[in-house]
Chain A
Amino acid sequence: DTGVSQNPRHKITKRGQNVTFRCDPISEHNRLYWYRQTLGQGPEFLTYFQNEAQLEKSRLLSDRFSAERPKGSFSTLEIQRTEQGDSAMYLCASIHKLTGGTEQFFGPGTRLTVL
């Protein structure tokens, strides 16, 4: 499978716990994006990486959120001290910027439920 993969697909946690999600982009895609999608809404941008550098963060990304892409390949998104308002689908997408592509390829998402 050469598409974008995300793990886990579902995560249920209790308020106050920390969670970490992983995204594996398409091989050689140098840009990686994280979005959050609440039920019935369109996705909202959180942050993006070009290779290993985190170039922009949305103001939606509070201090409890941190993202990394240590070797310019896979990325992790960690939420500390989860709150019920963090319940959402977290989507990852990748793109090969160097070839001038504009199509972002999305993963299946990680659905987070905070109890």
Chain B
Amino acid sequence: AQTVTQSQPEMSVQEAETVTLSCTYDTSESNYYLFWYKQPPSRQMILVIRQEAYKQQNATENRFSVNFQKAAKSFSLKISDSQLGDTAMYFCAFILMDAGNMLTFGGGTRLMVKP
């Protein structure tokens, strides 16, 4: 079974600063994807960024980037130039390819961006 762990229940950052959210996962499989999803207050979950396990290059999407350390099974999210709209719950998630593609989520990190 796959597990995803987020060790930071809550974090805060000043507007325009940089923050890093941590995630570790456990699997014995090799064909998988990792994701960061954002869930704003009272709004639906949206994808922030994804990483294919077979790609060594870290994914980036504008102000969002990941540090994927496959051997350490670590997948952290860096948010640069934090904005008030980044305030949300952030979930790290895992998909085992070709096994139904159901998401396994971590417990989440609540991020507050302060003005």
Contacts and interface: CB of A to CB of B under 8 A. Distances in A.
Indicate, yes or no, whether A interacts with B. Answer: yes
Given A33-B102, A40-B108, 19 more contacts: A4-B44, A40-B107, A41-B107, A41-B108, A42-B91, A42-B93, A42-B108, A43-B105, A45-B102, A45-B103, A48-B100, A48-B102, A56-B100, A102-B35, A102-B50, A103-B50, A104-B47, A106-B44, A109-B44
B43 interface: yes
A42 B105 contact: yes
A42 to B, nearest CB: 3
Contact of B46 (A33, A35, A40, A106): A106
A31 B4 CA distance: 23
B74 interface: no
Nearest to B91: A42
The interface size bin for chain A is 20 to 34
20 contacts: A3-B44, A42-B91, A42-B105, A42-B106, A42-B107, A43-B45, A43-B91, A43-B103, A45-B102, A45-B103, A48-B100, A91-B45, A93-B103, A95-B101, A102-B50, A102-B101, A104-B47, A106-B37, A106-B45, A108-B44
> Top 7 A-B pairs ranked by shortest CB distance?
A42-B105, A106-B45, A45-B102, A108-B44, A106-B44, A103-B47, A42-B108
Interface string B96-115: 01001111111110000000
Contacts of A4: 44
Contacts of A108: 43-44
A97 interface: yes
Contacts of B44: 3-4, 106-109
Contacts of A42: 4, 6, 91, 93, 105-108
Interface in B4-33: 4, 6, 33
A97 B101 CA distance: 9
Interface in B67-106: 91, 93, 95, 97, 100-106
